[in-house]
Structure 1
């Protein structure tokens, strides 16, 4: 008796849902094929438009997830599952999670914008949020900077995408600005010639660019020079320290005398 009841219920269930289940399976297979075609087309379009290779996997994954969610909702509707309440619950849960993770979502959106528009790239020397360093990595939520003294700075992408950023090395070459002083008794021409020797000896200074050695301040006992040396962006600090040391040595070789310490201190404060 019990067996007959179970059998009857099973037959009724198969009769009621069997066709829907078969249709849902067919729809799932066809849907997966269509999703594969769509993602392939999007990938080809991004390749033709030269979208960054680092961004493509992320965008393709996002599109694939959205399409698969839509497919599952469609299949649930075919089977007969009420999807309106499910969508409402999903929307409410998404809203709650969005409010709870508002800062993270802002960083996520900022990371997407940075990956797409590339205001800076890995290896660039930038100044942002009061920090200067080389970009070690651009992640979805954060950008990793390494400062010249080898500190790791983690900056949220949300604030980076909405605040000023100075890309120091974006053009591939950079000018190293320095100030030097020598006693006025040496004469401007002699000091300039000595500084020029030091700049010419710098291996990281660009050879096809005019470097500036300009008198910027004159006092009774000192002559101040602005020295501007062009160098590849990646060798900024090497150039900076090399020129300082080279000028110190060249002044000693050429007998360039230093100004009075008090004179230099007063002039620099002005």
Structure 2
């Protein structure tokens, strides 16, 4: 075999392969940049038209996946690989993967249904899949929740859609539930009047829905008073803790004794 011809052939072939690899790498980098620009432009246009942020992020994720698949097929076509057969192979692999990863496909389908039914949106305070927090993002397969203690939690869309969904942000206000336990001998009607006056001074309680202060029950320790102010979700915990402090302050100022069941046991004569 002619060594010079072999060297010339190898040099030409290697050079061509290297050029194709460099071109493919350039196509990938430029394609990824263009995909990012397209998604940014689409999301910006949707934001200008006041499209819901949940829908914007979800559609952005779908467009990104579709364009990345198109980019990979285009690069394979540049290398001379028959993309038609590759697409058929990809479809067959998709069926096999779908059977193995049915949970992921279920999450994807659940995400699509949630996008249509809209049980919540980005920014809502919800309880979904056993997690309570603020919705940051509705993804293709999972929803990102930021809990009140500032922990980012991702819950599968299938778990969310198949479980109870509580949205605390839909209605203008929500009720704070607290109970004041009184001792025997304390007049519950007087306590109700004092607690109503104290709770009414708490900042950020609802002006349209006045606090509910009612005689709730009778326990061995004494009567119980339900203290229920209303507040917007944004101020819920502030009103919650302020209500606790108001109950303690009223009891101290009135000089009521500490409830105790042991002190109420009366021996028969």
Q: Which range, TM-score by smaller chain?
A: 0.5 to 0.7
Equivalent residue, structure 1, for 2:257: 257
State the TM-score, normalizing by the size of structure 1: 0.65
Moved over 6 A (4+): 63-70, 81-84
Conservation of the 8 A alpha-carbon contact between 2:121 and 2:135: yes
Equivalent residue, structure 2, for 1:228: 228
Distance 2:263 2:125 in 1: 35
Distance 1:99 1:221 in 2: 60
Conservation of the 8 A alpha-carbon contact between 1:176 and 1:240: yes
Instruction: State the Cα deviation string for residues 225-266 of structure 1 (Å, max 9, x = none).
Output: 1111111012211111110012101221122333225479xx
1:53 is displaced (CA, Å) by 5.0
Distance 1:63 1:245, change over 3 A: closer
Distance 1:141 1:68, change over 3 A: closer
Equivalent residue, structure 1, for 2:147: 147
Unaligned runs of at least 5 residues, structure 1: 1-42, 74-80, 265-270
Instruction: State the Cα deviation string for residues 119-158 of structure 1 (Å, max 9, x = none).
Output: 1122322222223222233222222223333333221112
TM alignment of 1:23-62, pairs within 5 A: 52-56=52-56, 58-59=58-59, 62=62
Distance 1:69 1:182, change over 3 A: closer
Provide the alpha-carbon RMSD of the alignment.
Answer: 4.0
Distance 1:63 1:207, change over 3 A: closer
Structure 2 SS opposite 1:122: coil
Distance 1:181 1:54 in 2: 44
1:221 is displaced (CA, Å) by 5.2
Number of residue pairs the alignment of both structures matches: 221
Instruction: State the Cα deviation string for residues 86-139 of structure 1 (Å, max 9, x = none).
Output: 554342122123234332222222223323332112232222222322223322
Distance 1:220 1:230, change over 3 A: same
